[in-house]
Structure 1
């Protein structure tokens, strides 16, 4: 269980890279669309992120699981892993698209390869390729094998999901609800796009007055099929109302002194979901912290699908289930006005449920880190030390000493507000001394993992800590 928790912590770290880039990328993609500003080069910047999420996840996972202070080689190993897998799959089966799942697998393979072979010795004539460079060679070999395996088994997995999606069609409202639930619950594994592909582009058939045949919920709706849109309508409830409700709950549940910081993050997340149909920045902020909250989110998404089906709401999208597509497709939709009252009801359902669970279960969502706590032996000078002094170098030095020195650091990185450290020997860590340094709190998710809550200035403390680590 301890190893599992440590793995979840590292997986959460791996999500920081793509998540950090998503909000702005999603907004500029929507603003750059043909029906808005129509600036192609602006949209290309957003597509650079969302068109390469598998690469970002591969690099992020490799960095998160690699045991190294300098993450440059692990990051390159992660890139080579996903690049090799992609090219191998093109040869094995050009129709295979593993999406984010391929990125996560590649990142894990890259991290394992780096950890296993980073100290590899070779004959003198090949010494240039030894040590940290050797994983760059090995990962290409291993991912070539992975491409051969997934090229064979992934179509079977994909066909199974396609068959399951076809079965949902015959289940009416319950089928739509199950689809919406699975759409959310599969996101952490990157498998939702496989289910979506069938629903979006192959579900059902419609022959236009001109005799042209169209397949898929999205394609049929845009081309005038009055029966299309039942599998898509629920997304408007979740993206335009549900996710903003989550954001408000996280903001309101945050400690008062931290709400200003949370407001910016959650406000951006709500706007991105409402305007651009991008929910990952919000969902990834709590899915690994609390599987309970994420399961509730998926259940509510399923409920939204059932309600819109029973109310015969039929509306589709091209870019995504956001306010822009809602307005654009309003004229050709069935009962689109009902989206507003149903959405408002779900906004409050999401808000009150999430707020209650966060507070009742004391879930450490953004802004709910532990309060400051001092040991009895802390003297007045230690209590006066705070990050407001801007003495980041001093703070980093004292933290490093309390953590057992450079030799005891297995891994260290920072997220939005926390310094996350993995140590080799927890028995030499002076936890009380850490708490006396003016930090906001400390969480110990596993025996060897520490989350030191510093606040927004953690970036500067991490910078100074890296200098100390690299100089030794």
Structure 2
């Protein structure tokens, strides 16, 4: 076999694997899109809004807190959302039966895990799902092996594959009622059962390893935040930043709420009132609200004079989108592939913002993204949120100066600086 022939299967394998990862990243965006609703409901249910320290509507606050908590529950709500989102996103030509199969598989898997609580510590004795200390007459909820969001994603992947494989299967005539789409939930139920049994056996060492890694990254403090920021922006280029975000934002760490419920992940912990959360979210606010809009203005100011008005309109629009909502892809993709040097600077400066913000004691978070909406809504939950504004202005100045200098100095073909013949070719096409 020639070297070219040997390389071809490898290229095909890598291309398929890479496309699969990108598809996975896009699938994770579907459940993430639910989080703004969860964050708003949860915030309205806090004591300083509808609760005792706000409007005094305690019962109304309980309703909103329960509604938001259902979606942000790191044991059931979030894993189920990610399970369904991944199943729909990964299955080719998915429909409602894909989601149904995912729900069936997940519920079986979840309830099997709940049937085996972990041993109680110290003098407490397991009674039902409670660890009871008869001496002090105190009780606490038992803990269970629960891979959380990661488990939901794996069940979703399995459901998508099973649906693609079996949704057109025909059985013998006397079992014809269970043909095709009706067969898939039955298979996913069995797979969910087997997967749960496997998790009971293999998850403890895996979970301990992930916990050790998260503690290591967290113990790095500002450096850990900076590393995450650079990695997050670097993976955005290939559409796989959600793979990194999912673990850190929804699996990392734990916090026990006053009710006794335990939540995991940087975002759910922050929204639950954990004062130590926000290490991997705080530093995005200066970038998304101030720095990237400044970069957009630098790109507009660097455009050719006869195209400047057009580019001003475009860049003002995407700058406002970034500032208000925290959606940055329109700005980043406008220069990422035509000026990789600018994107490298952007990734490094994002890491710097993450490190500086955390080092200054800023703890802030979001339900969707680091834009003005989340910044205002979560002001009462944050620590030193006002510091984000001067940090943001500093980074805005740095971004504008660096982007303007690099674009002009190296004649980068950012929007508005393309050669005239390239513009004519695009117009003709």
**TM-score, scaled relative to structure 2:** 0.57
**What stretches of structure 1 of length at least 5 have no aligned partner?**
202-216, 274-280, 364-369, 377-434, 436-472
Q: Secondary structure at the match of 2:109?
A: helix
- Find the counterpart in structure 1 of residue 243 from structure 2: 188
| Alpha-carbon shift at residue 81 of structure 1 (Å) | 3.0
Alignment of structure 1 residues 142-221 onto 2, 5 Å = 142-167=191-216, 173-175=222-224, 177-178=226-227, 187-189=242-244, 190-193=246-249, 196-197=252-253
Cα 1:84–1:19, aligned 2, differ >3 Å: closer, same or farther? same
Shift of 1:193: 4.4
State the Cα deviation string for residues 174-197 of structure 1 (Å, max 9, x = none).
Answer: 355446667887752421147631
Question: Could you tell me whether the CA contact under 8 Å between 1:54 and 1:99 is conserved in 2?
Answer: yes
- The aligned residue for residue 140 of structure 1 is 189
Aligned to 2:144: 95
Q: CA RMSD in A?
A: 5.1
The yes-or-no answer on 1:78 pairing with 2:124 is no
Alignment-derived partner of residue 110 in structure 1: 159
Cα distance change, pair 361–245 in 1 and its aligned pair in 2 (3 A): farther
Which whole-Å deviations, capped at 9, do the CAs of 1:235-277 have from their partners, x for residues lacking one? 43323x222247637976799889989988875664456xxxx
Deviation at 1:128, TM superposition (A): 0.7
Alignment pair present for 1:10 and 2:23: yes
Q: What per-residue deviation string (whole Å, max 9, x for no partner) do you get for residues 176-223 of structure 1?
A: 54466678877524211476315x67xxxxxxxxxxxxxxx989xx89
Question: Measured at CA, do residues 121 and 172 of structure 1 come closer, stay the same or move farther in structure 2, by a change above 3 Å?
Answer: closer
State the SS of the aligned residue for 1:18.
helix
1:386-432 Cα deviation digits (max 9, x unpaired): xxxxxxxxxxxxxxxxxxxxxxxxxxxxxxxxxxxxxxxxxxxxxxx
Distance 1:173 1:131, change over 3 A: closer
SS in 2 for 1:67: coil
Offset, 1:304: 3.3
The answer on 1:66 being equivalent to 2:111 is no
| 2:26 counterpart of 1:26 | no
SS in structure 2 of the partner of residue 343 of structure 1: helix
Provide the rounded CA distance (Å) in 1 between the counterparts of 2:287 and 2:172.
60
User: Does the CA-based 8 Å contact 1:237-1:346 persist in structure 2?
Assistant: no
CA distance in 2, matches of 1:147, 1:50: 22
Alignment correspondent of 1:211: none
Distance 1:315 1:66, change over 3 A: closer
**Which structure ranks higher in relative contact order (CA pairs < 8 Å, sequence separation ≥ 6)?**
2
Equivalent residue runs for 1:384-399 within 5 Å: none
After TM superposition, the structure 1 = structure 2 runs for residues 166-315 of structure 1, keeping only pairs within 5 Å, are: 166-167=215-216, 173-175=222-224, 177-178=226-227, 187-189=242-244, 190-193=246-249, 196-197=252-253, 232=278, 235-239=281-285, 241-245=286-290, 248=293, 267=320, 270-271=323-324, 299-300=348-349, 302-308=351-357, 313-315=360-362
Q: Deviations over 1:113-155 (max 9, x none)?
A: 0111122222222111122221111111112222222333333
The aligned residue for residue 9 of structure 2 is none
Going from structure 1 to structure 2, the CA distance change for 1:22 and 1:152 (only over 3 Å counts) comes to: same
C-alpha change, 1:234 and 1:375, in structure 2 (3 Å) is: closer
What's the offset of the Cα at 1:106?
A: 2.0
Structure 1: distance between partners of 2:398 and 2:22 = 29
Relative to structure 1, the CA distance from residue 59 to residue 234 in structure 2 (aligned partners, 3 Å threshold; closer, same or farther) is closer
**2:253 match: secondary structure:** helix
Matched residue, 2:371: none
Q: CA deviation at 1:159?
A: 1.4
Question: Separation in 2 of the partners of 1:43 and 1:371?
Answer: 53
Mapped to 1, the partners of 2:22 and 2:89 lie a distance apart of: 9
Instruction: From the superposition, tell whether residues 170 and 261 of structure 1 become closer, same or farther in structure 2 (CA, over 3 Å).
Output: closer
Give the whole-Å Cα distance in 1 for the aligned partners of 2:112 and 2:46.
Answer: 33
- Give, in whole Å, the separation in 2 of the partners of 1:112 and 1:31: 39
Deviation at 1:308, TM superposition (A): 4.5
Q: Is the 8 A contact 1:165 1:179 kept in 2?
A: no
Q: Number of paired residues?
A: 332
Q: 1:151 to 1:236 in 2, by over 3 A?
A: same
Question: Could you tell me how far apart the structure 2 residues matched to 1:338 and 1:148 are?
Answer: 48
